[in-house]
Structure 1
Amino acid sequence: MSFDPRILVETQQTLVSGGVVLLATDTVLGLVALPSDSTAVDKVYALKKRPRDKNLPIIVASADQITAFGGQISPSARACLNSKHMPGPLTIAIELQTEIAPSWLSGRAECAIRIPDDALLLALLTNLGPLMATSANLSGRDTPHTTDEAVIQLNGTPDYVVAGQAKSQAPSTLVNCRISPPKIERIGAVSEAEIAAILERAND
């Protein structure tokens, strides 16, 4: 999947300057921001009207980026990372090594991680490092199908919009790999049966 190089430049400049970007991901529409920029993070919460006690997930380009910020990859997490759904619509919750974790993860014992199957996002992640990413909807509401609809629903306007529509209306499936046995916390694009087969391989 290709993208206009000008969009990469504009998106990257927006993020570096502390802005929030609305764009289509490989699942639902998303809001992305640099997790190290507290102003940008505050704006994401405000746009969604999301309670501050609900942590936001992080997207990365590779497993190396996970370990670089102190993420602990358990056998079940490794099995998920090695599955056909990574990159793709599978999110894993992992434990954080607090002495390594950067300040933007301060106070968090775990973090939800996903590797997106999207060329633009992967280019941004390669250039900028991990990004905070969340669905582009008001908290508790369904995610709109198009960026135009998302702009209407959100509490305010993102700093840059990559016009488009969701590639799927199903969110990623979330598996908590921090606990043993691992637990599915949200069923999405990857079925319960597929997750069970992935986790079974972790025990082989």
Structure 2
Amino acid sequence: METLRLKADQDGIAQAAVLLRAGECVAMPTETVYGLAADATNAEAVARVYQAKGRPSFNPLIVHLPSVEAAQAVARFDAEAERLAAAFWPGALTMVLPLHPRAGIAGIVTAGLDSVALRVPAHPVARALLLAADRPLAAPSANPSGRISPTTADHVIDERTGLGGRIAAVLDAGPCAVGVESTIVGWQDGSATLLRPGGIPAESIEDALGAPLARPATNAPLTSPGQLASHYAPEASLRLNATEALPGETLLTFGRAGDFSLSESGDLVEAAARLFDILHKADRTGRPIAVQPIPDHGLGRAINDRLRRAAAPR
């Protein structure tokens, strides 16, 4: 299959919408990373997402919607969920909520669970595509399962490390601004729970709720995307909390200059936006990768979460 690169203009969005309604997979830009979109009401279309990514079918997908009202037609919102939607949608927050039984979402999207992960993206091209397609779109990151997430169309279309030749098209809107996936919040035992750190700091969500977020049990079953122990991995091995590179290693620096600096000034927002692009570049050197310590607060929690999973045994 030839993967088309579509311009993020009116014609490109219209062509992408036609492909999606025909059951094809199209990579779309979001403010976090590029997502591999398919019609969430079409089980065969969603199966093509799993096939293209090589993704385990027990790992649920995030459904992207154009508005809070559209999300409320798919899932049940309590007062806390409504508060978070008002505070952070559109934006980099995903919520795992009880699925409306007649929502029309294909069971393969939720991995058979009675809950669904929902997000209203802020990226104008993603929002335009959702409206043009007139479908809820299931969209995990547009990369082979477990590998580095894509923040540019080039990452998506690369035939060695991406999905070039496996999907119908990518809608190219340039680099993603946030650069790490959405924060995921669910409710376990009645408590709002941080299921995955991401583009919105947990502290901001706790401020909106007026209460701390719980953390899931380490042996809890998968209830949302982004919970696999090994994920976001380069082909090379990854060593964390390195002060300097060992012989033969590529060093990702933080707070200082370097060929692979996440942020020379130590800015966590810049580091989050650059993380996956720098990992892609470091991986192309063919050498093991070492990463300097990243502060574990704010967006640093999301960065460290991705790095720990990238370094996990495979």
Fold in common (TM above 0.5): yes
Larger-gyration structure (1/2): 2
Give 1:154's aligned amino acid. Answer: G
**Which of 144, 150, 156 is residue 150 of structure 1 equivalent to?**
156
Number of aligned residue pairs: 196
Identity of aligned residues (%): 29
**Which of 67, 82, 85 is residue 81 of structure 1 equivalent to?**
85
Q: Which has the higher contact order (CA 8 A, sep 6+)?
A: 1
Give 1:141's aligned amino acid. Answer: R
Asked if 1:123 is matched to 2:112, the reply is no
Corresponding residue of 2:286: none
Corresponding residue of 2:99: 96
1:59-92 CA distances to partner (integer Å, 9 max, x unpaired)? 11122212323x1001121111010x21011111
Q: 1:97 to 1:18 in 2, by over 3 A?
A: closer
Asked if 1:198 is matched to 2:198, the reply is no
Asked if 1:181 is matched to 2:191, the reply is yes
Q: Distance in 2 between matches of 1:35 and 1:4?
A: 24
Gaps of 5+ in 1: none
Instruction: Report how far residue 175 of structure 1 moved.
Output: 0.5
Q: Distance in 2 between matches of 1:147 and 1:120?
A: 13
Over the residues paired in the alignment, what is the CA RMSD in angstroms? 1.9
TM-score calculated relative to the size of structure 2: 0.58
TM-score calculated relative to the size of structure 1: 0.87
Q: Distance in 2 between matches of 1:105 and 1:49?
A: 18
Instruction: Report how far residue 27 of structure 1 moved.
Output: 0.9
Instruction: Report how far residue 178 of structure 1 moved.
Output: 6.1
Corresponding residue of 2:139: 133
**Which of 170, 192, 195 is residue 180 of structure 2 equivalent to?**
170
The range that moved more, 31-40 or 172-181, is 172-181
Gaps of 5+ in 2: 1-7, 212-314
Instruction: Report how far residue 200 of structure 1 moved.
Output: 1.6
Q: Distance in 1 between matches of 2:168 and 2:95?
A: 28
Instruction: Report how far residue 179 of structure 1 moved.
Output: 4.7
Q: 1:42 to 1:75 in 2, by over 3 A?
A: same
Q: Distance in 2 between matches of 1:64 and 1:78?
A: 11
The range that moved more, 184-193 or 124-133, is 124-133
Q: Distance in 2 between matches of 1:140 and 1:154?
A: 11
